[in-house]
């Protein structure tokens, strides 16, 4: 009887959870209680702060909240102090951030206790890889929210303004304070008058929310736009051209943030085209921006096909310029030394560049982690990187501390995330991909937050039904039946993705440039070797993995001791990086006693089984989720599972040709033929 009642109850809950399309993100509306606000002054930012409080107050009805701008040395930048009765900050923005923190605590059921909250990084920036025609490089959530194709592409509509306001609000609510509006593979047109007018319109909308606008620039712009014969950074005419251009930009957007530059990388022009260095190029732009307090974020993502190991190249190129960059230059370094792979050790540049401002670039868009098809929560990956110890100034010199100003007196501290935002109704393509945008912002504000805390906050704000109590979902029930299992699932998803795609330190073994499905066999004639999977896994009859030991490419030596020695020896190298640093025989004995081949097989299998579990978890939470989001995630998980199996089959069958060993018999047998998988090139048709 009890069972039947439970079923009926669950059914009633399920049919009453209101359908949602995810557009409101983690800022879903709920009926507010009355609140009195005591605050002096009016400004757009303060008005937003007051409006947020009145429209979203979930605290004691009729409470009075005091917002006060003070002068307090304990607050850093836009940091703030939260008290039960109000918020204090040195800046208006600090007040706004305090308001969002207060509301978040109410929504997530945390007490509003006295706390001072300071941002870990001064600049917390999204990088949009959006092109002027509205397409997005590595974007999986529709077209750009900033740019579009066609005759009226630069006309600013009411719909544009509405969307940009929603975007600004979402970012401000998690502390993001900057955005680069266009692709690092930049079009020179972006800094021409018609585009700058649109940038101005965007900046006007983002400004009250504390978000500065930045642009990615093409290094050869002086030639392409100015008709100058060269774009040599030491050429006086070129220098003058950039000064003029920067002056023009600031006359239109007085609080413009600065430039992001991808130079001499993957075919982009740069100072080396003129026999100059990265320091020459970055400094020239920095000089032009200096009088306006603008910054240059100069990317260290450089590699060329000539060198023997791509993983070493950024370090080799940039270390020699440490201390030679202007104060308003920040070197932007991807978290891993190769690219944004599912797992990489941290880039050895972190902590090693001691006299230069260095910022981490993380990738929120899931280029290498399943696009918007697979459910992968990225906070654990970023936490792993930020908490990695570089040992550069002794134990505890984590990547987080080496970049946030705790260790080095760098002029600027910053962090960037490549956005996963597009015109899709739910902004990010996959309902759970919103959690990655959220996580980036929260970590940029506080780089010590755990993935678990972030997941917990996000789930509560994104999924707790507004009318939970009225509809019979007691909070304890919801927590136990929804929050706990979904959080547990999210926290496992990144490790699962590593397991079914590139376990044990394997990396970059995708089929083709779409970076979705497996292609360990790929080595097309004419393609540069470092763009092919065989370059990275190096499987042969003797074994598998990239030898980066002292006897190999010696990439290990770019790490500080004790890491260099630890990575150099397979006995002490963590299993998760084993094939990143070592080429080992198929029968190499792992720490757990298995041979390498078997361990590889079990890893792939465990990844697939994990996704199977995710499906079960999700199906069980059906009564607690609205129909639309439930079905969407359910259907995506089905595809996720199918594709995880394809990864396993493709990699095991391909590598087995070299290992010549059986797949352990307690593992599910492959169900696809290698020849078929090689023909399908999973993901190719969808994304290329």
Within 116-157, residue ranges assigned H as helices are none
Which has the closest alpha carbon to 498: 582, 595, 606? 606
CB of 262 to ligand GCV, least distance (A): 5
Annotated active-site residue 384? The verdict is no
CB of 301 to ligand GCV, least distance (A): 5
CB of 365 to ligand GCV, least distance (A): 10
CB of 128 to ligand GCV, least distance (A): 11
User: Distance between CA 354 and CA 402 in Å, rounded?
Assistant: 8
Indicate which residue of 122, 232, 339, 384 is catalytic: 339
Read off the tokens for 212: 């500065």
Cβ neighbours around 204 below 10 Å, total: 14
Q: Is 582 helix (H, G, I), strand (E, B) or coil?
A: coil
Taking the least distance from each CB to ligand GCV, the nearer of 232 and 361 is: 361
Indicate which residue of 101, 130, 344, 367 is catalytic: 367
Is residue 262 at the binding interface for ligand GCV, with CB under 6 A as the rule? yes
Taking the least distance from each CB to ligand GCV, the nearer of 137 and 575 is: 137
List all residues 6 or more positions away from 410 whose beta carbon is below 8 Å from its beta carbon.
Answer: 356, 357, 358
CB of 331 to ligand GCV, least distance (A): 14
CB of 127 to ligand GCV, least distance (A): 9
- Selected from 104, 105, 138, 326, the binder of ligand GCV by CB under 6 A is 138
Taking the least distance from each CB to ligand GCV, the nearer of 288 and 362 is: 362
CB of 112 to ligand GCV, least distance (A): 40
* DSSP per-residue string spanning 208-267: GGT-EEEEE--TTHHHHHH--S---TT-HHHHHHHHHHHHHHHHH-TT--EEEE--SSTT
Whether 602 and 594 have beta carbons less than 8 Å apart is answered as yes
Taking the least distance from each CB to ligand GCV, the nearer of 131 and 413 is: 131
Which has the closest alpha carbon to 627: 18, 13, 7, 6? 18
Starting at the edge strand found earlier in the chain, the sheet holding 63-69 runs 35-39, 63-69, 86-89, 80-83, 115-117
Chain positions 403 to 432 lying near ligand GCV, rule: CB under 6 A, are none
CB of 185 to ligand GCV, least distance (A): 5
Chain positions 6 to 45 lying near ligand GCV, rule: CB under 6 A, are none
Q: Identify how many contiguous H helices and E strands the chain contains and give both numbers.
A: 22, 15
Whether 663 and 641 have beta carbons less than 8 Å apart is answered as no
Is residue 301 at the binding interface for ligand GCV, with CB under 6 A as the rule? yes
Annotated active-site residue 470? The verdict is no
Taking the least distance from each CB to ligand GCV, the nearer of 168 and 428 is: 428
Chain positions 265 to 294 lying near ligand GCV, rule: CB under 6 A, are 266
Token pair 């990088």 in the structure block, residue: 127
Taking the least distance from each CB to ligand GCV, the nearer of 297 and 486 is: 297
CA dihedral in degrees (423, 426, 432, 433; nearest 10)? 20
Which has the closest alpha carbon to 533: 647, 406, 383? 647
CB of 182 to ligand GCV, least distance (A): 11
Read off the tokens for 403: 């970049």
Peptide bond into 423 cis (omega under 30): no
- Selected from 83, 137, 452, 613, the binder of ligand GCV by CB under 6 A is 137
Is residue 537 at the binding interface for ligand GCV, with CB under 6 A as the rule? no
> x/- site string to ligand GCV, residues 212 to 251, per CB under 6 A?
----------------------------------------
Taking the least distance from each CB to ligand GCV, the nearer of 167 and 301 is: 301
- How deeply is 342 buried, as exposed, middle or buried, from its count of CB atoms within 10 A (0-12, 13-18, 19+)? buried
Read off the tokens for 616: 């079960």
Which has the closest alpha carbon to 385: 419, 336, 451, 351? 336
Is residue 522 at the binding interface for ligand GCV, with CB under 6 A as the rule? no
Taking the least distance from each CB to ligand GCV, the nearer of 334 and 442 is: 334
C-alpha 561 chain-centroid distance: 29
Is residue 129 at the binding interface for ligand GCV, with CB under 6 A as the rule? yes
Longest dimension (CA), the chain: 87
Read off the tokens for 459: 């789930």
Indicate which residue of 266, 293, 668, 673 is catalytic: 266
Taking the least distance from each CB to ligand GCV, the nearer of 101 and 339 is: 339
Is residue 298 at the binding interface for ligand GCV, with CB under 6 A as the rule? no
CB of 369 to ligand GCV, least distance (A): 13
List all residues 6 or more positions away from 350 whose beta carbon is below 8 Å from its beta carbon.
Answer: 333, 358, 360, 388, 390, 392, 399, 402, 403
- Selected from 39, 153, 185, 450, the binder of ligand GCV by CB under 6 A is 185
User: Distance between CA 488 and CA 61 in Å, rounded?
Assistant: 34
Total binding residues toward ligand GCV, as defined by CB under 6 A: 9
**Paired sense of beta strands 115-117 and 80-83, if any:** antiparallel
- Selected from 35, 176, 184, 579, the binder of ligand GCV by CB under 6 A is 184
- Selected from 92, 339, 383, 599, the binder of ligand GCV by CB under 6 A is 339
Taking the least distance from each CB to ligand GCV, the nearer of 296 and 486 is: 296
Return residues touching ligand GCV (CB under 6 A). Answer: 129, 137-138, 184-185, 262, 266, 301, 339
Residues recognised as catalytic: 266, 339, 367
């Amino acid at each position: 009887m009890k069972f039947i009642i439970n079923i009926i109850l669950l059914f009633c809950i399920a049919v009453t959870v209101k359908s949602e399309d995810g557009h409101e993100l983690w800022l879903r509306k709920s009926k507010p209680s009355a609140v009195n606000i005591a605050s002096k002054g009016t400004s757009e930012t303060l008005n937003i702060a007051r409006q947020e409080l009145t429209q979203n107050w979930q605290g004691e009805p009729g409470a009075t909240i005091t917002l006060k701008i003070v002068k307090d040395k304990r607050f850093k930048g836009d940091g703030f102090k939260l008290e039960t009765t109000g918020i204090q900050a040195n800046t208006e923005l600090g007040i706004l951030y305090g308001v969002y923190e207060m509301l978040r605590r109410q929504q997530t059921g945390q007490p509003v206790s006295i706390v001072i909250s300071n941002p870990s990084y001064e600049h917390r920036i999204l990088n949009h890889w959006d092109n002027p025609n509205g397409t997005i490089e590595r974007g999986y959530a529709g077209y750009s929210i900033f740019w579009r194709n066609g005759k009226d592409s630069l006309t600013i509509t009411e719909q544009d303004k509405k969307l940009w306001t929603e975007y600004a609000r979402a970012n401000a609510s998690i502390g993001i304070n900057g955005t680069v509006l266009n692709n690092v593979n930049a079009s020179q047109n972006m800094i021409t008058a018609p585009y700058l007018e649109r940038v101005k319109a965007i900046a006007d909308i983002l400004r009250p929310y504390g978000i500065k606008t930045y642009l990615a620039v093409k290094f050869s712009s002086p030639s392409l736009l100015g008709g100058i014969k060269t774009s040599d950074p030491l050429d006086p005419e070129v220098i003058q051209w950039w000064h003029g251009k920067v002056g023009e930009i600031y006359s239109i957007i007085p609080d413009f943030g600065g430039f992001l530059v991808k130079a001499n990388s993957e075919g982009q022009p740069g100072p080396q085209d003129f026999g100059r260095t990265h320091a020459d190029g970055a400094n020239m732009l920095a000089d032009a921006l200096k009088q306006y307090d603008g910054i240059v974020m100069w990317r260290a993502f450089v590699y060329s096909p000539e060198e023997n190991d791509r993983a070493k190249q950024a370090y080799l190129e940039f270390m020699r310029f440490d201390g030679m960059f202007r104060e308003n230059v920040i070197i932007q370094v991807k978290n891993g030394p190769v690219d944004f792979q599912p797992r990489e050790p941290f880039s050895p540049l972190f902590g090693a560049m001691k006299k230069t401002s260095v910022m981490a670039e993380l990738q929120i868009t899931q280029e290498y982690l399943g696009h918007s098809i697979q459910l992968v929560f990225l906070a654990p990956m970023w936490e792993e990187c930020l908490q990695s110890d570089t040992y550069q100034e002794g134990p505890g010199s984590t990547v987080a501390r080496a970049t946030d100003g705790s260790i080095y007196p760098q002029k600027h501290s910053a962090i960037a995330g490549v956005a996963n935002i597009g015109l899709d109704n739910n902004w990010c393509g996959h309902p759970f991909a919103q959690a990655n945008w959220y996580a980036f912002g929260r970590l940029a504000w506080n780089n010590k937050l755990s993935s678990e805390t972030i997941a917990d906050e996000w789930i509560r704000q994104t999924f707790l039904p507004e009318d939970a109590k009225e509809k019979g979902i007691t909070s304890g029930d919801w927590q136990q039946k929804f929050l706990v299992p979904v959080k547990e699932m999210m926290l496992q998803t990144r490790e699962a993705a590593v397991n079914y795609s590139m376990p044990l330190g394997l990396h970059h073994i995708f089929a083709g440039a779409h970076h979705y499905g497996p292609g360990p066999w790929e080595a097309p004639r004419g393609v540069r070797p470092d763009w092919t999977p065989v370059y990275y896994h190096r499987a042969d009859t003797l074994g598998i993995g990239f030898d980066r030991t002292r006897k190999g490419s010696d990439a290990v030596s770019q790490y500080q001791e004790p890491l260099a020695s630890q990575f150099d020896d397979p006995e002490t190298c963590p299993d998760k990086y084993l094939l990143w640093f070592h080429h080992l025989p198929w029968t190499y004995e792992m720490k757990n006693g298995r041979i390498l081949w078997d361990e590889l097989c079990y890893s792939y299998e465990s990844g697939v089984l994990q996704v199977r579990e995710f499906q079960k978890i999700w199906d069980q939470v059906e009564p607690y989720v609205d129909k639309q989001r439930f079905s969407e995630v359910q259907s995506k998980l089905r595809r996720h599972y199918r594709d995880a199996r394809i990864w396993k089959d493709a990699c095991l069958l391909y590598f087995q040709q070299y290992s010549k060993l059986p797949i352990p018999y307690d593992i599910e047998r492959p169900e696809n033929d290698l020849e078929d998988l090689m023909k399908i090139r999973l993901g190719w048709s969808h994304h290329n």
